[in-house]
Amino acid sequence: MTDQSTQQARTPEAPAPEPRSGGVTRRTLLGTAGATGLVLGAAGGAAGYAAAPAPATPLTSVGSDRAMFHVKHQPGITEALQACGHLIAFDLAAGAGRKEAAALLRRWSTTAERLMAGEPAPHDDTDVSRDAGPSSLTVTFGFGHSFFARTGLEKQRPAALDPLPDFSSDRLDKARGEGDLWVQIGANDALVAFHALRAIQKDAGAAARVRWQMNGFNRTPGATARPMTARNLMGQIDGTGNPKPTDAAFAQQIFVPPTGEPAWMANGSYAVVRRIRMLLDDWEKLSVSAQEQVIGRRKADGAPLTGGHETTPMDLEKADAKGDYVIALNAHARITRPDKNGGAAMLRRPFSYHDGIDADGTPDAGLLFVCWQADPLRGFVPVQRKLDRGDALSRFIRHEASGLFAVPGGAGKGEYVGQRLLEG
């Protein structure tokens, strides 16, 4: 995954509101950030904001970071992990069809564009994140398998959206999986993320109802002395083997090509979403050495057990003094390697979650696994089948919910997400 690139900021169409008592509004904060050269955009294009009567405190770099809405691939796929996230699925309301879906995606796209620019929602804004900047907010939209029958667009449903196969380790709650529409929200500020969630929910109106919703988090940018690969709730460095945009095959592995089928999915991707509960009480009973054997990597720095540092290639043939493989045949890191799965690759971009403590004291915590690929039958499925057959980590996790969504390419200027499907 790459760091978010600097983009030009957009001057809002509406004039800035009058300052509240104290002289600082969200808009003047954004204006000050642009004027002081913080990363609102290459041009610092917030000069159109009204000046506060008193000097305003500039936004920090976290608050001023901005992702763009009108891009080739939807935001929220290749950006760096964000500190806060919400995943939410909707079902179209009874009687709602293609027309209502198009109007909803138009509303959602307008709202997402404004919020990602650090502006208020286009109507009935709640002021939840009034004092914050964009904070790397991204809003991503996708379509589930059932969406196409609901809208009379079955002929446009991609073959890659066929239901995932059953896996023996699954313990899926159907009420918390799939859905007609899926929205992923991420930001580096919890209030900014919630603000977007609330705006998206309100925009749904009578057209769609919430099917399920999940909340997640990651380490906050800047919390470590240097940029580092994230850790999951097991304490393991998680994401070392992710494909990188600089890899020659990255675009081919992650995105539908511009000439791909169906045409409306050009530059899009497919998201597999899994709620994976970590059995932390059992995991934490293991010694660090035993945990490392399960994963195949050192816990401290993510290096393979065969030596080196985090990105050192594994020596899968290396044996110990007894003649046993140093990295066990069922070690998680060995099984998930692309070269052990016919080249299958996916871009993992998860959030951790914690939904409280069960009555017996067991934490309901784990990973909101989100992975991206050009075709889940060539990305997620072969890897998960192999994990299902003998991953040492399987004893310590439980897949409790699942979804697969077609995420079209980014909307062009003046377009809304999914317009080529809904108006094609």
Residue showing tokens 């909101």: 368
Start-end of H helices in 241-376: 250-254, 280-283, 288-295, 332-335
Q: Which residues are catalytic?
A: 238
How many angstroms from the chain centroid is the CA of residue 184? 6
- The whole-angstrom separation of Cα 349 and Cα 2 is 11
Q: At how many degrees (to 10) do helices 190-204 and 98-116 cross?
A: 160
- The whole-angstrom separation of Cα 238 and Cα 216 is 15
What torsion, rounded to 10 degrees, do the Cα atoms 276, 277, 283, 288 define? 40
Nearest to 7 by CA among 68, 71, 77: 68
Per-residue exposure over 138-160, b if at least 16 CB sit within 10 Å of its own CB, e if not = bbbbbbbbbbbebbebeebbbeb
The two tokens of residue 105 are: 């995606």
**How far apart, in Å, are the Cα atoms of 30 and each of 10, 264, 325, 352?**
11, 36, 56, 30
- The whole-angstrom separation of Cα 258 and Cα 241 is 26
What is the enclosing helix (H) or strand (E) of 185? Answer: strand 181-187
Q: What backbone phi and psi angles, to 5 degrees, belong to 10?
A: -105, 130
Q: Is 57 exposed, middle or buried (0-12, 13-18, 19+ CB in 10 A)?
A: exposed
- The whole-angstrom separation of Cα 294 and Cα 310 is 17
- The whole-angstrom separation of Cα 271 and Cα 371 is 6
- Check residue 240 and report its DSSP letter: T
- The whole-angstrom separation of Cα 346 and Cα 375 is 9
- The whole-angstrom separation of Cα 74 and Cα 69 is 7
Output the DSSP codes for 309-323.
Answer: -TTSPP-TT-B-TTS
